[in-house]
Amino acid sequence: MNANPSVGLFVTCLVDLYRPNVGFASIALLEQAGCTVVVPETQTCCGQPAYNSGDSSSTRKLAQATIMAFESFDYVVAPSASCAGMLKHHYAELFEDDASWFERASTFADRVFELTSFLVDVMQVNLSSKPFDSSVTYHDSCSGLREMGIKTQPRSLLTSVDGVTLNEMEDTEVCCGFGGTFCVKFPDISERMVTDKAALAKQSGAAVLTGGDLGCLMNISGRIDRLDIPMRVYHVAEILAGMTNVSAIGAEQSAEQGSPQSPGVNAASIESKKL
Amino acid sequence: METKTLSFKRAATDALKDQELQRALNYAKDGFIGKRTQAVAKLPEWQTIRSDAREMKNHVLENLDHYLLAYESAVIANGGMVHWAETAEEAANIIVTLCKDAGAQTVAKGKSMVGEEADLNGALSEAGISPIETDLGEYIIQLAQEPPSHIIAPAIHKTREQVTDLFHEHHQQYGLHEKVVDRAALVAEARTVLREKFIAADVGITGANFLIAETGQHILVTNEGNGDLTSVLPKTQIVIAGIEKVVPNLDDASALLRLLARSATGQHFSNYTSLMSGPRRAGDIDGPEQFHVVLVDNKRTDMLAGELREMLRCFRCGACLNHCPVYGSVGGHAYGWVYPGPMGSVVTPVMVGIENAPDLPHACTLNGRCAEVCPMSIPLPSLLRKHRQTTFEKQLVSNASRYGLKIWAAFASRPKLYRAVTLVIVQVLNRLGRRRGRFKKLPLAGGWTRSRDLPAPQTTSTFMQLYKKHRQNP
């Protein structure tokens, strides 16, 4: 296996819009693992919103654009099991009537990975992370668990970080109620599900909630904040890359927040102070 | 059964506020999920049996005509009769005629979901024939005049207190005046009441869990033995079954039986798993004199011919319901028709018409737990997505949804425009939300902000913009 593979980072629209820090953390981690990371400029969205709403033709267009932007890399990595799952498991079936695109999408699919499982299963990285002195509970996204086989990998990475204690939630395999457009189409049912999940997170006794999917994390943190539950929420990439000196998801904007001051500075916090 | 599928959203909202229902649902959920997990853990060959079963059932569906005709021949050879009903209504008419021909005044019924499709109780009552439900759960909801809310535990939405009250009200006529609270005592009282009805029934109607093509037999799976009493005591027996219930032989049926009870209730086997052979044979000590099977299509052949074929592997265990967080939050009645939960959201739009149930395929987070626990490996989320494609094509989703998606897709296919517009959105949202870090309210985001804060974007720039700058000034 190539020790210095080229990786196209599929940054995901939520990270792009909401939390660039996760993108920079992903790059830092991939580079630490020895990858050369490129971020194709033409990427936009994996197409899941259209796909899950039954709009196959729009999805196909986005899929083709994504494949074309990324197929030249050894690997395609996303800091999201849900987006990675879309690229890996659903692109090919969009082209059942088009043999050449089906082939292209299938080849492409083999190279797609979610970030933490890529680091552990493919790169077998030994991370050297800055300490993160906190009890942490990990939220498993449904796509992570069921589409991408992600359960042990993020946990093994987290427990390798000095200072982290892992407090498991109960009922980790129960959905948090995000479900993409579901949470706004069926807000009452979503509210019930996310309330249950917030309670489980609180019951874990952890000070920090983390996970690999920003959609789930925004959903749960949104409910946690509405219920005044004092937990901080970070994407797992941020913890692993030692980039938690930005405000937690949904927290007041303050560069000086949270556990230990990281000795170095990182690109995202420089940029956010400038702007 | 009245179709209330169009009011799913409202019914779901009401269900969420119903404290007694919520209590009942929580109790049921813990029981079903925990027990199934334990039962499956004790069977190391679970996945092997599961994949063999899928292959076997796929083979049957590929050759459904052959196996149904073989079953029919075998039933006739046993001395029974087979009737073919293309629609649910036809099935009800056939059964009402058979009951009238038998001069029936009361009919004992075992639980049958396909019977619910046909609204058998309604049809019988209209014809002046009294149907008595013998499954305890069905009996309870018959007293409450409600439809079933779960495919194997029809009264799961009822708390023990509610059952106590129902029995107290309706058993006065039998001289039973005490309010019974203890669970075992409630069952015993029901048993006493129902025993008389079994004996009095002129006709017994049951469903069938499996139809055996080779032998013309069928299998009944119950925990109460009501299927057995319904089948052997009355002089005329009628079995109503969907055409997908047929399996080639007893070996194949055994494989499915290993999956069924474990998936449904976590039992290794139900209390009564009975093999029924049709009419009484010479030398049999009991059995009906007349035996009829009514095979029902009701859009199953449509599913067979199309993209939903895999749904026909379903043998109605209820595991998908039990593990579905949506079903677990709102219960079965919200779905508005016979079949709730994930499998209900697939079959109901087919059977009642998708324009009458456009919300059901969307009331799902696609979390996939249903497919994970389905003993027959039915890819429920994929099937629901196919329905979503239909609702999109037929414009059954809200205009706001359609336009929103079209706009998103239009942006997302134009990277430069996407970059420019997202940058503006992020700048606006970040500036608005920067102080608190989150929004309690935001125009157009009411669905989210009703119950959740919405985090503000982290900075006034998108990742792509920052990355570009960072690369230019490393």
Reply yes or no on whether the pLDDT at B196 is more than 90.
Answer: no
- B462 and chain A in contact, CB less than 8 A: yes
Minimal C-alpha gap between B133 and chain A (Å): 33
> β-strands B438-439, B454-455: how paired?
antiparallel
State residue A273's pLDDT score: 38
Taking an 8 Å cut-off on Cβ atoms, the answer to whether B467 and A39 are in contact is: yes
CA distance B90 to B308: 23
The partner residues of A75 in beta bridges, in order of sequence, read A7
Mean pLDDT, range B334-346, rounded to an integer: 97
* Structure confidence by residue, pLDDT tens digits, A66-113: 999 999 999 999 999 999 999 999 999 999 999 999 999 999 999 999
CA distance A46 to A91: 9
Reply yes or no on whether the pLDDT at A265 is more than 50.
Answer: no
Mean pLDDT, range A125-143, rounded to an integer: 96
- B405 and chain A in contact, CB less than 8 A: yes
- What are the strands, taking DSSP E only, across A151-274? 164-166, 208-211, 232-235
Nearest CA in chain A to B454: A222
More confident residue, B408 or A81: A81
- A15 and chain B in contact, CB less than 8 A: yes
Q: How far apart, in Å, are the Cα atoms of B52 and each of B45, B266, B307?
A: 11, 20, 22
Mean pLDDT, range B7-12, rounded to an integer: 96
CA distance B462 to B8: 39
State residue A260's pLDDT score: 30
Taking an 8 Å cut-off on Cβ atoms, the answer to whether B362 and A186 are in contact is: yes
Residues of chain A above pLDDT 70, percent: 91
State residue B474's pLDDT score: 61
pLDDT band of A157, cuts 50, 70, 90: very high
State residue A164's pLDDT score: 97
* Structure confidence by residue, pLDDT tens digits, B431-442: 888 888 889 888
State residue A267's pLDDT score: 39
Minimal C-alpha gap between A33 and chain B (Å): 20
SS3 A136: strand
Taking an 8 Å cut-off on Cβ atoms, the answer to whether A18 and B452 are in contact is: no
CB contacts < 8 A, A to B, total: 221
State residue A85's pLDDT score: 98
- DSSP code, position A61: H
Taking an 8 Å cut-off on Cβ atoms, the answer to whether A20 and B462 are in contact is: yes
Reply yes or no on whether the pLDDT at A252 is more than 90.
Answer: no
Closest in B365, B371, B453 to A250, CB measured: B453
pLDDT band of A270, cuts 50, 70, 90: very low
Which positions in chain A touch B436 (Cβ < 8 Å)? 252
Q: Which of residues 291-330 of B touch A (CB under 8 A)?
A: 325-326, 329-330
Taking an 8 Å cut-off on Cβ atoms, the answer to whether B362 and A185 are in contact is: yes
- A268 and chain B in contact, CB less than 8 A: yes
Tell me what ipTM this predicted complex has: 0.94
State residue A1's pLDDT score: 61
State residue A257's pLDDT score: 38
* Structure confidence by residue, pLDDT tens digits, B215-265: 999 999 999 898 998 998 899 999 999 999 999 999 999 999 999 999 999
Reply yes or no on whether the pLDDT at B420 is more than 50.
Answer: yes
Q: How far apart, in Å, are the Cα atoms of B292 and each of A222, B73, B76, B237, B280?
A: 59, 13, 10, 6, 12
Taking an 8 Å cut-off on Cβ atoms, the answer to whether B466 and A268 are in contact is: yes
State residue A275's pLDDT score: 34
**Rg for chain B (alpha carbons), in Å?**
26
Residue B146 burial (10 A CB sphere; 0-12, 13-18, 19+)? middle
Is A71:A29 a contact under the CB 8 Å cutoff? no
* Structure confidence by residue, pLDDT tens digits, B110-167: 999 999 999 999 999 999 999 999 999 999 999 999 999 999 999 999 999 999 999 9
Reply yes or no on whether the pLDDT at A9 is more than 90.
Answer: yes
State residue B28's pLDDT score: 87
